Amino acid sequence: MMGQIIFFCLFVLAVAIFARNASRIYKNIKLGKAINRNDRPVERLKLMFLIAFGQKKMFKKPLPALLHLGVYVGFCIINIEMLEIVIDGLFGTHRVFSSLGSVYNGLIYAFEWLAFAVLFSCIIFLIRRNALHIYRFSGRELKNWPKTDANLILIAEILLMTAFLFMNAADFKLQQLGHPTYHTAGAFPVSQFLVPLLPESASALMITERFCWWFHIIGVLAFLNYLPISKHLHIILAFPNTYFSKLEPKGKFNNMPAVTEEVKAMLDPSLPPPTGEVSRFGVKDVQDLTWKNLLDAYTCTECGRCTAACPANITGKLLSPRKIMMDTRDRLAEVGQNMAKNGDFKDDSKSLIDTYITREEIWACTTCNACVEACPVNIDPLEIIIGLRQYAVMEESQAPASINAMFGNLENNGAPWKYAQADRANWRNE
Amino acid sequence: MENQLHIPTVAEMIAKGERPDLLFWVGCAGSFDERAQRITKSICKILHHVGIKYAILGTEENCTGDPAKRAGNEFLFQMQAMMNIEVLNGYEITKIVTACPHCFNTLKNEYPNLGGNFEVVHHTQLIQSLIAEGKLKPADGNEFKGKGITYHDPCYLGRANEVYEAPRQVLEVLDADLVELKRCRSNGLCCGAGGAQMFKEPEPGKKDVNVERVEDVIESKATIVAAACPFCMTMLRDGVKAKEKEHEIQVLDIAEITAKANKL
């Protein structure tokens, strides 16, 4: 009974804290500007199924894709087991689903292998991340906390799966001993090999089984609450993020409607001047981004495929698309905290540009879309970079001198170089 | 030969009471850059050869605004776009071929919302369809037969608009030894010129993007790298020069290759 009460309290507490954190993140995402991504729902669903459920873009790199698939499928399916653990915990039952008989045995059989797959993949991931020199796992933005964060997640998954397998092994051994609570149920293709490692006495086995059970469930609840402060939210947000993807060609950049109005009025003085107040052209801070940009930032799991594909980054420039996403998320979290503390946003003399992302970074971009293409969950760092450039150019007139010269040529002679408009067709005679 | 080719402007055509079936959007590089002018002329030769009634805008053409837009100057972009749309709509242009993937992308994707609705194709797409229709056919014993040729995907044709097959199909009819670069199609590496980089010095780094790209070309062992963008052309040629490979590796546009193969 005591166990049930403790379990109930822990469970409710964990869910409540998670709900609070989730609503905080939702609120932060809503700080972004409006953009319509609700059209063509069938196409969007298809995209979500292919890219998030089907992990289509992951398979550009088959080895990590297979390992990740193991963790992903394992994670999703072992959650059925979580349901049983929660029911057992709340009602004091033991393996409540075992009445399903052979179906249950089949499920446990599958869970065991999946747990092994998760364990195996996570160990390989740890090695890849820390011992092998893989380009996308280096990089200046992946030092300190982000590096620890990634390792913590992998270690947590390894510990959870180990506890799960030892729990089963102890249960299996108790079943073999004929313990009354531990009726014969399940199939243990993996954990049977752990049985020799366990103590012989029934009481020690029960302690082991209970310890692993509690460790597993508390671990899962803790992990749930670790998600919102980690890079790991992609396990949830990958789905909405792919659903709300840009459906137009990657080369198509949005035309700013506020600019259209002004340009129309400039070209045709008979038109009334634009009425809509535009607070700012381009992106200075996270509030100037769209909610999709902000959702992108929370979805990013810092895998670095974007950065490893970025022509600027791989030739040693400061720009890293992954850092653009991480900076956006970190600044957004900071703005969210600021608003929670002060009721409304109180100027902190910081901004996404300069405080987080430098001019050198944004001007190194070739707008080649390699980062957008590389992202397995359709994050678009390029849109943020262009937004920052728009702010630098249209609000501050602060572009590199040669870019300003190009603008001047465009305005004066309709070409980015200093050639006379009248000479445009001279090539015909040369 | 080149001087015999008469390339009319839309204005000239209309003055004669005619109209073009196709507008050839030459682009700034194609108009002013000496190397790109040769691509322009190759396209004209092809259009002339197949007998398409085409014209250029000549001095009425203005930059599409692409470099301004990618550099964040939305005002300048939209000014350029609206001026061009006014000219194009004034001439009731319906179909456009471009020699530059940047012009192609901008005209095709970013003009409709500002009132410019045209059917826009890139020259590699047009050439591919002409080959498919049997209007273009490499001459017997064309000079590319058996040569090692690779293709560099321009970002604004490939990833930006998912045109991967047309340029490859144009090369396939040459009976050449075609080889892909290790980073190709949707994984293609940029030449380094996009996003207005063409008009500025690169930020400090370990090396230039075009050099990184030319290393892919060298690795492929191809002796000809086919381009489909005047900016890529410049960057690849500079990269080949930086690697001192100009005697071994030739950079040619798909249009130039087609014109030569057809002995135009």
Which residues does chain B have within 8 Å of residue A416's beta carbon, measured at their own beta carbons? 28, 63, 67, 198-199
Residue B150 sits in which domain range?
Answer: 138-261
Q: Distance, in angstroms, between B10 CA and closest chain A CA?
A: 12
Which residues does chain A have within 8 Å of residue B72's beta carbon, measured at their own beta carbons? 282, 386, 388-394, 399
Q: Give domain status of residue B76, yes or no.
A: yes
* Per-residue pLDDT at B2: 47
Which residues does chain A have within 8 Å of residue B69's beta carbon, measured at their own beta carbons? 253
Give the pLDDT band of residue A278 (cuts 50, 70, 90): low
Q: Which of B203, B28, B108 is nearest to A409 (CA)?
A: B28
Q: Report yes or no: B250 at the A interface, CB cutoff 8 Å.
A: no
Mutate to test the interface with B, among A253, A318, A380 (most CBs of B within 10 A): A253
Residues B89 and B39 reside in one and the same domain: yes
Residues B15 and B69 reside in one and the same domain: yes
Residues B87 and B59 reside in one and the same domain: yes
Residue that terminates a domain, selected from B128, B153, B184: B128
Q: Give domain status of residue B204, yes or no.
A: yes
Residues B26 and B121 reside in one and the same domain: yes
Residues B146 and B119 reside in one and the same domain: no
Residues B179 and B106 reside in one and the same domain: no
Residues B103 and B152 reside in one and the same domain: no
pLDDT in tens, A346-386: 999 999 999 999 999 999 999 999 999 999 999 999 999 99
Ramachandran sector of residue A389 (left: φ over 0; alpha: ψ -120 to 50; beta: rest): alpha
Residues B245 and B149 reside in one and the same domain: yes
Q: Report yes or no: A343 at the B interface, CB cutoff 8 Å.
A: no
Question: Out of A65-79, B29-43, B82-96, B171-185, which region has the weakest mean confidence (pLDDT)?
Answer: A65-79
Residue that terminates a domain, selected from B60, B95, B128: B128
Q: How many CB atoms lie within 10 A of CB B38?
A: 18
Strand ordering across the sheet containing B119-122:
B54-55, B22-25, B95-98, B119-122
Q: Report yes or no: A314 at the B interface, CB cutoff 8 Å.
A: yes
Q: Taking CB atoms and an 8 Å limit, are A400 and B200 in contact across chains?
A: yes
pLDDT in tens, A96-117: 898 888 999 999 999 999 999 9
Q: Give domain status of residue B133, yes or no.
A: no
The residues, ordered by sequence, that sit 6+ positions from A355 with a Cβ below 8 Å of its Cβ are A331
Chain B 211-230, residues with CB within 8 Å of chain A CB atoms: 211-213
pLDDT in tens, B107-122: 999 999 999 999 999 9
Q: Give domain status of residue B33, yes or no.
A: yes
Give me the total of CB pairs closer than 8 Å, taking one residue from chain A and one from chain B: 211
Residues B67 and B147 reside in one and the same domain: no
Residue that terminates a domain, selected from B110, B128, B146: B128
pLDDT in tens, A399-410: 999 999 999 999
- Burial zone of B258 (CB within 10 Å; 0-12 exposed, 13-18 middle, 19+ buried): buried
Residue type, B94: T
Q: Which residue has the higher pLDDT, B84 or A276?
A: B84
Number of compact structural domains in chain B: 2
Q: Which residue from B28, B37, B204 is facing A417, i.e. has the nearest CB? A: B28
* Per-residue pLDDT at B141: 84
Is there a contact between A111 and A105 (Cβ–Cβ < 8 Å)?
no
Give the mean pLDDT of chain A.
94
Q: Give domain status of residue B186, yes or no.
A: yes
Residues B29 and B104 reside in one and the same domain: yes
Is there a contact between B39 and A359 (Cβ–Cβ < 8 Å)?
no
* Per-residue pLDDT at B1: 45
Q: Would you say the pTM of this structure is higher than 0.90?
A: yes
Q: Which of A306, A362, A314, A308 is nearest to B207 (CA)?
A: A314
Q: Distance, in angstroms, between B233 CA and closest chain A CA?
A: 16
pLDDT in tens, A319-339: 999 999 999 999 999 999 999
Whether the predicted pLDDT of A276 surpasses 70: no
Q: Give domain status of residue B16, yes or no.
A: yes
- Burial zone of A347 (CB within 10 Å; 0-12 exposed, 13-18 middle, 19+ buried): exposed
Q: What is the mean pLDDT of residues B163-185?
A: 97
Q: Give domain status of residue B192, yes or no.
A: yes
C-alpha angle A425/A428/B4, rounded to 5°? 155
Q: How many CB atoms lie within 10 A of CB A341?
A: 8
Residues B203 and B121 reside in one and the same domain: no
Residues B91 and B182 reside in one and the same domain: no
A265-301 burial, b if ≥16 CB within 10 A, otherwise e?
Answer: eeeeeeeeebeeeeeebbbbbbbbbbbbbbbbbbbbb
Kindly state the DSSP code that residue B192 receives in the 8-state scheme. S
pLDDT in tens, A7-42: 999 999 999 999 999 999 999 999 999 999 999 999
H helices present in A255-320, as ranges: 257-267, 291-299, 305-309, 311-314
Chain A 347-366, residues with CB within 8 Å of chain B CB atoms: 360, 363-366
CATH code at position B29: 3.40.50
Give the mean pLDDT of chain B.
96
Whether the predicted pLDDT of A221 surpasses 90: yes
Whether the predicted pLDDT of B137 surpasses 90: yes
What ipTM did this prediction achieve?
Answer: 0.96
Q: Give domain status of residue B23, yes or no.
A: yes
